[in-house]
Amino acid sequence: MSQQYKKSGYISIVGKTNVGKSTLLNEILGQKISITSRKPQTTRHRLLGIKTVKESQMIFIDTPGFHKDHKRALNKYMNKVASSAMKGVDVLVYVIESLAWTEEDKELMDQIPDGNKTSILVINKIDKINQKEDLLPFIETISKLNKFADIIPLSALKKQNLTALVDSILLKLPEGDHAYPTDQVADVSERFIASEIIREKCITRVGDELPYRISVSIDKFKEEDKITHIDATLFVEKKSQKGMLIGSSGTKLKSIGTAARLELEEFLATKVMLNLWVKVKQGWTDDEAMLTTMGYDLGKSS
Ligand code: GDP
Ligand code: MG
């Protein structure tokens, strides 16, 4: 039977850092809006992703993670999760990593109210398990806790069993008018997503010291004749960090630029001409470096 009434609701995705929340969100939306990385704490912003399926609109909230070595940060995060992410949302998706269940996961789960009909447990990364039966006793133990309406093992990365999660969410959405137009996927602009894509490439290609000290500003974002022209400045705090970003003879920056451009082209579905500048935040005027990667020069030609 087809649905007669419109449904709309907020879904919050919570869980420890690195369990795959951003990957899951991106896969559900079919588009990358939240940056992912092997390094923890890359999600700085709380993002909304929107997916409308027939009469139902799902509005996703991707909550920032916490650093697992920080007890205080953990407590703070849990309080925040308990006070905001879990309250005032219609569906809660709690993500854990299969076979990597820890004390922290348990503490976090304690915040979830018992007997909740709108909480879903996602056991992610099942592609990492050789013997799928190994999961069954675990699922049984968790289901006895009476915390979750559904327990869904899946692989966000390998796109396994994602529809089970979407179906489960859809069933739990309340009736209500849609808050966003049907074709909208995020409440953040393409410009912001572009800056996150570029920032991600910097993080994944440069050493550990850099990630938390870099910010990206988009200075130009303009589509002309099926080419999106993007100028971005990477701001770092120290000259040494600038050196790390640029690499010897600019090789590092070039690989950042190329990787970012390729992903931007996929995201925007246009060719992209990307100009990257690196600047040290203080007194940078005589201290810049520039790189241009021209999307339309590559790929199709030759
Ligand atoms: P978040 O911190 O919870 O948002 O986690 P991310 O989405 O950034 O993912 C952390 C890491 O786990 C990334 O390297 C992902 O590629 C990886 N990952 C996410 N989902 C899966 C999965 O289903 N299987 C495997 N093997 N890796 C995954
Ligand atoms: Mg994330």
pLDDT digits (tens, 9 = 90+) for 225-242: 889 999 999 988 888 888
Q: Is residue 186 predicted with pLDDT exceeding 80?
A: no
Substitution site in 16, 18, 159 for ligand 1 pocket (most atoms within 8 Å of beta carbon)? 18
Please work out whether the CB of residue 125 comes within 6 Å of at least one atom of ligand 1: yes
Please work out whether the CB of residue 98 comes within 6 Å of at least one atom of ligand 1: no
Please work out whether the CB of residue 17 comes within 6 Å of at least one atom of ligand 1: yes
- What is the reported pTM? 0.63
Q: What residue's CA is closest to ligand 1, atom 6?
A: 20
Q: What residue's CA is closest to ligand 1, atom 22?
A: 125
Could you give the percent of the chain with pLDDT greater than 90? 25
CA distance 29 to 51: 6
Q: Is residue 285 predicted with pLDDT exceeding 50?
A: no
Tell me which ligand sits closest to the C-alpha of residue 14: 1
Q: What 3-state class would DSSP assign to 24?
A: helix
Please work out whether the CB of residue 116 comes within 6 Å of at least one atom of ligand 1: no
207 DSSP β-pair partners: none
**Helices then strands, each counted (H, E), the chain:** 8, 10
Substitution site in 12, 22, 23, 41 for ligand 1 pocket (most atoms within 8 Å of beta carbon)? 23
The mean of the pLDDT values for the chain is: 77
Please work out whether the CB of residue 36 comes within 6 Å of at least one atom of ligand 1: yes
Which pairing describes strands 7-14 and 119-124: parallel, antiparallel, or unpaired? unpaired
Instruction: Give 201-224 pLDDT, tens digit per residue.
Output: 888 888 666 655 678 888 888 888
Instruction: Give 14-52 pLDDT, tens digit per residue.
Output: 888 788 988 898 889 876 555 554 444 333 334 457 788
- Ligand 2 mean position to 301 CA, how many Å? 36
The pLDDT, as a whole number, for residue 148 is: 92
pLDDT category at 66 given cuts 50, 70, 90 is very low
Estimate the crossing angle of helix 21-29 against helix 162-172, to 10 degrees: 80
CA distance 62 to 210: 24
The pLDDT, as a whole number, for residue 68 is: 46
